[in-house]
Structure 1
Amino acid sequence: MNKGQLQNEILAIIRTVFDNKKALEKIHTFLLTEIYEEPKPEEIPSKYKKAVSEIADGLSAGLICFFNPDTLEFEDIPKDLAYDPEEFEMMTGETFESAGLKHDEWNNCITIEPMESHDSFKIMEYFIDEVRDTNFQEKLINALNRRKPFANFKYLVENSDYRQKWFDFKQARYELYVWDVIKTGIS
């Protein structure tokens, strides 16, 4: 049986007991005690921490980042303008050169794109697992299953006691994403 078939069978079993809280609790306990191992977060080398944090901020705002691993310099550009010098000039009134952008001149340049929406969605799903208030957890799950899941989730979290915990969680996940791209680019 391949991995996909196993996943489908496991999900089918879970669906059969979906309304049975006791059975779900047994499955949950079994998974936590017998199967699941908390992943150890990878340590970002101190040399890169500041750049990684700032790049993560830019990515979460929808910017593309160009990173020079030799000098630790980086440049953020709105995604829509990053690959179109004419559009950049039309929107900003400047050329890449007159704006002081140097990434095209770097010998070593790593491009870091914002996360795909399905990856951002996964971060929200993972955060739900961190929420210990089962009522709020259920609201967040429902928000992700309705139309406009990002907006619904954001509204709930930003108007809750979990607001700061969400920002910290999201920032940490973005930083790991950035470090993974940088690490791949420098190896």
Structure 2
Amino acid sequence: MKDTLKTPLIVVWGTGLTPPPISSHVGYQDMEQFISTVEDERSSDLLLGAINRNRPFRRFKETLIDLPELRDQWFVFHDRTMRRRAISG
């Protein structure tokens, strides 16, 4: 009899293993949630404009390249969000 894994394998960061991928819809919501935390109106508007066009993930990334202080904040936000998902399973 073959054992089957009923839930996805979730592991701690830094082990070389990764959690299950998220859908693009969830990724888009993460970007929206991050943008809602941005206090600078100009930066917030730039990021909103980026995700409301074709290829939102690429445009979001390109916009963050021009906003290095927010780029660092995005990586912290994204890491925390993914860790919460991994823990809550």
User: Is 1:121 the counterpart of 2:23 in the alignment?
Assistant: no
CA distance in 2, matches of 1:128, 1:176: 19
More strand by share: 1
Shift of 1:139: 1.0
User: Is 1:54 the counterpart of 2:14 in the alignment?
Assistant: yes
- Quick one: which of 68, 76, 84 aligns to 1:176? 84
CA distance in 1, matches of 2:86, 2:14: 10
Higher relative contact order (Cα pairs below 8 Å, separated by 6+ residues): 2
Question: Considering only CA atoms, is the larger Rg found in Structure 1 or Structure 2?
Answer: 1
CA distance in 2, matches of 1:125, 1:169: 12
Deviations 1:61-88 (A, max 9, x none): xxxxxxxxxxxxxx45xxxxxxxxxxxx
What amino acid does structure 2 have at the position aligned with 1:179? I
Shift of 1:53: 2.9
Aligned CA RMSD, in angstroms, stands at: 1.8
Equivalenced residue count is 78
Residues 163 and 125 (structure 1), Cα distance of their counterparts in 2 relative to 1, 3 Å cut: same
Where does structure 1 lack aligned partners over 5 or more consecutive residues?
Answer: 1-50, 59-74, 77-111, 182-187
What amino acid does structure 2 have at the position aligned with 1:116? S
Q: Which runs of 4+ in 1 moved over 6 A?
A: none
Query: Which residue number corresponds to residue 156 of structure 1?
Result: 63
CA distance in 1, matches of 2:53, 2:46: 11
- In the superposition, the TM-score normalised over structure 2's length comes to 0.78
